[in-house]
Structure 1
Amino acid sequence: MTACAIEPAATEEDDGAPRPGCTITADGAYAARLARAGDSWLPERWTLDGPEPYAVPLPGSQPEEPGTEVQPMRDGRVLIRRAVAGRHVFSLLYPTGPDTGELPLGSVECPDEGTRLRLLPPAPGGRRAYALAVGARSTAVWLVAGGDFGPEHLAEVPGRCSGGAWLDRTGRMLALDRELGGRTKAVVVDLERGGEVSPLLQIAADSDDRVLLADVDSGLLLIRSDAPSPGEHRLGWGVLGSALPVRFPECLRVAACAVTPFAIQPEQVLTPESCAVALRIDGPLGSWVGVWRPAERRMHHLPAPEGWLTGTGLWTPGGVLRLPYATEAAPCAVAEVQIPAVPPRALGPGPTALGTPVPRELPEEEPPQPVTPRPVPLQQAPQARHVTN
């Protein structure tokens, strides 16, 4: 067992990224969220892989706190993390007729004052779930569901870690953004070798380099770094295990807006430049959706459906973006957007429906050649400052 300081409800992750409206399993079959029930909150599981999406409420014996975390598992149960008397208590919830069944898994306590604990993104396979306990000088990785004897301490990583992206299909290689010595660099933690840490991304010695999203099939990495523009953290992309430079497209810069990637099109093996990427854009006029491919010279700006569970969605292999939303008339629904496979050759300067200027298409350039991802992490990542696609 182990006690982390119980953080208040928050709208941002530890690294400043906005929290998504729900969490979706790696295979896209289930989602889970905290839903409002009057003035209180209750867990809700969404089934997404059937003919029509539907939601199952999973109320407990009392309302949940706003900071409670939920995560769907592959078998349809929902993992819940509650803050109880200075501990983080984990259980699996499942429907049992009109009631909610609950399987206690144990708790984690963190002895260091100020340590914060949160769930990591759903792991491949969906049978296990992990949590990150961030302390003043080190970060612990915990297996909190799917083990044999309750929560299990897997690794202790020097430094303060945030983020979390899975780099393989087995849930072994975990990318974390580690703050150490005043700089943040992405590292790989091998969970089957006692938490062995190796470098993943280093663009410049004095830059902050984070991995935001990773795709196992293509090796595409979405990163954020201040290397190309000191004082400004820009979005870029690279390929895991590739010698190609990291690129920072101008079209991913949206004035006065925060841009956060949340989904990559799967099953684009050996063709990372063709993967469609969905991005959450938060600006003065609200939140909407951006869609972009590394091979393109522009970002498509799309209005989000009313009631969008902001920052969440998934791609089908065929290029359909599915966005979950909930309204009074449709309490569990998914909007589907088909993105053209081939971008238009020319783009006018007109604004989108939300008033955000769309960048003009830049002159044609040769797209990067497909590179077979190597099974080892990228050690160094040269940057291409001149590339603006």
Structure 2
Amino acid sequence: MTACAIEGPTAGAVAPGPEGPGASGGPAGADAPGGLTLTADGAYAARLTAAPGPPGERAWYPERWTLDGPEPYAVPLPLDRPEAPDSPVVPLADGRVVIMRRVAGRRTFSLLYPTGPVTGELPLGAVECSGMTLLPPSPDGRSVYALTVGEHVSSLWRVVGGAFGPERIARIPGRCSGGVWLDRTGRMLALDRRPAGGAPLKTVAVDLERHGEVTPLLQIAPESNDRLLLADADSGLLLLRSDAPGHDRLGWGVLGSCRPVRFPECLRLADAAVTPFAVRPGQMLMPESCEVALRIDGAAGSRVGVWRPAGRRLHVLAAPDGWSPGAGYWSRDGVLHLPYANGATPCGVALLDAPPDGEPSPATGPATGSEPSAAGPPPPVCRPVPLGQAPLHRAGARVTASPGGAGPTAPVRAT
């Protein structure tokens, strides 16, 4: 997408906010450092958690949440040793959980799954590297991708889902970050790339079926820094952040459209950072009618925002207690699901119906273009759905393979 910046009634600034969808959060006494990661379809989620205790004595272990059944529930996946609190976990579409561990200059990968009273583990191999970042879960539900970044070149890895363990599938000139899926098959991936020599940051598209072929995607102005935050495959709606209008702003555009990028005034909050994390699916060719869920981070904590491009209004709502900021998904009927956990509810989902744009919300005021604030009257709270949790089973013995599974592979060196 090549677009130009415009000024007008919908233009405005936005305070810099967190990069990407991940965030911290968790139940009282558990403070999961990596937050909650959801599959692309919202069926499963995973996180690291721990029983309450002194900060230096907590035993961290993965936990899988099942969200697509009649009653969501959590399944603990502990092994016979605690996990490092910085070990990211990613759920797959079949309910298994991938964990990445740092071991002596390598990144190792394993599949975890419940098997009777213990946790099964299937080693998947390792990559020798000094640093690696997992990308958001692939829409195909079977693959997990990661980035390693060098001084002049970035490498894209498929660490889960390949035929022979982790494999490098593309070398991309420049330093890459971000990671947004552009389709529902897991073929097209958008990355934010800064070329060598300090050139402006631009978003590129990587075709995974064409050996990592790279093409430009987002170029608003020659000298602007443009990064993609979120994309909807059904409508083509893109949410982005750019300094093309003069300083960093949150904007939107449409994939493949000749219309310019717009920077809505209602998304400019003087006292909070605004970051999109979910778009309602199923709105075919209707980008301006899509409901967008936003994370609003201010001095008072994190709240939830709902916005439509055509509505030019930001509805600010209170998040459920224990919400993992930035975690959530829309159902096709327009209900926003927000997973949360707190001392009273170890596993829950709050449901939020998208407010109509014709009705002012308590936090946004009248529809006259007034600027909403993260402070102000208490907003309505999403209706909570408290749910139970499966009993905690700790593994008595470590299981290293599943029936029909492949054994571990040799480490692969990242260059």
TM-score range, shorter chain: 0.7 to 0.9
Q: CA deviation at 1:40?
A: 2.7
| Alpha carbons 2:271, 2:373 under 8 Å: kept | no
1:51 to 70, 74, 81: 70
Aligned residue among 261, 266, 288 for 2:276: 261
User: Is 2:80 the partner of 1:61?
Assistant: yes
The yes-or-no answer on 1:161 pairing with 2:176 is yes
Question: Hey, what does 1:333 align to over in structure 2?
Answer: 348
* 1:291 Cα offset (Å): 0.8
What is the CA-CA distance between 1:353 and the residue it aligns to?
8.5
Gapped runs of 5+ residues in structure 1? 1-12, 359-389
Aligned partner of 1:285 among 278, 286, 300:
300
Shift of 1:63: 1.2
Distance 2:49 2:331 in 1: 26
User: 1:362: which partner in 2?
Assistant: none
> Using the alignment, how far apart are the partners of 2:94 and 2:115 within structure 1?
14
One of 371, 376, 380 as aligned partner of 1:355: 376
1:191 aligns to 2:208 (yes or no): yes
For residues 128 and 96 of structure 2, the distance between their equivalents in structure 1, rounded to whole angstroms, comes to 24
Tell me the distance in 2 between the aligned counterparts of 1:16 and 1:68: 18
| Partners of 2:18 and 2:359 in 1: CA distance | 38
**How far did 1:28 drift?**
1.0
Shift of 1:344: 2.8
Q: Measured at CA, do residues 119 and 14 of structure 1 come closer, stay the same or move farther in structure 2, by a change above 3 Å?
A: farther
On the 8 A contact 1:177/1:184 being kept in 2, the answer is yes
- 1:37-73 Cα offsets, whole Å, 9 max, x none, are 2323211100000111100000122111121100000
Q: Which residue of 1 aligns with 2:166?
A: 151
| Counterpart in the other structure of 1:324 | 339
Q: Structure 1 residue 328: deviation in Å?
A: 1.6
Greater relative contact order structure (CA < 8 Å, 6+ sep):
2
SS at match of 1:147: coil
Which residue number corresponds to residue 202 of structure 1?
Answer: 219
Secondary structure (helix, strand or coil) at the match of 2:266 reads helix
Amino acid at match of 2:152: R
In the alignment, which of 314, 317, 320 is matched to residue 305 of structure 1? 320
Which range moves more in the overlay, 262-271 or 29-38?
A: 29-38
Partner of 2:403: none
Match of 2:102 in 1: 83
Per-residue deviation, 1:341? 4.2
8 Å Cα contact 1:303-1:354 kept in structure 2: no
Q: Distance in 1 between matches of 2:305 and 2:240?
A: 16
Relative to structure 1, the CA distance from residue 120 to residue 351 in structure 2 (aligned partners, 3 Å threshold; closer, same or farther) is: closer
Distance 1:130 1:121 in 2: 8
- TM superposition shift of 1:174: 0.5
Q: Establish whether residue 176 from structure 1 lines up as the match of residue 191 from structure 2.
A: yes
| 1:37 match: secondary structure | coil
Q: Deviations over 1:11-60 (max 9, x none)?
A: xx995876352111111110001112232321110000011110000012
- d(CA) in 1 for partners of 2:147, 2:284: 30
* 8 Å Cα contact 2:313/2:357 also seen in 1: no
- Secondary structure (helix, strand or coil) at the match of 1:124 reads coil
In structure 1, what residue type is equivalent to 2:276? P
| RMSD (CA atoms) | 2.2
Going from structure 1 to structure 2, the CA distance change for 1:186 and 1:357 (only over 3 Å counts) comes to: farther
Equivalent residue, structure 1, for 2:238: 221
SS at match of 2:60: strand
Give the SS at the match of 1:246.
coil
Q: Is 1:93 aligned to residue 107 of structure 2?
A: no
Identity %: 64
Match for residue 122 of structure 2 among 96, 103, 106: 103
Report the secondary structure of 2:288's partner residue: helix
Residue matched to 2:258:
243
Q: Does the CA contact (< 8 Å) of 1:350 and 1:357 recur in 2?
A: no
Report the count of equivalent residues: 341
Q: Does the 8 Å CA contact 1:351/1:357 hold for their aligned counterparts?
A: no
**Taking structure 1 as reference, are residues 143 and 72 closer, same or farther at Cα in structure 2, changes over 3 Å only?**
same
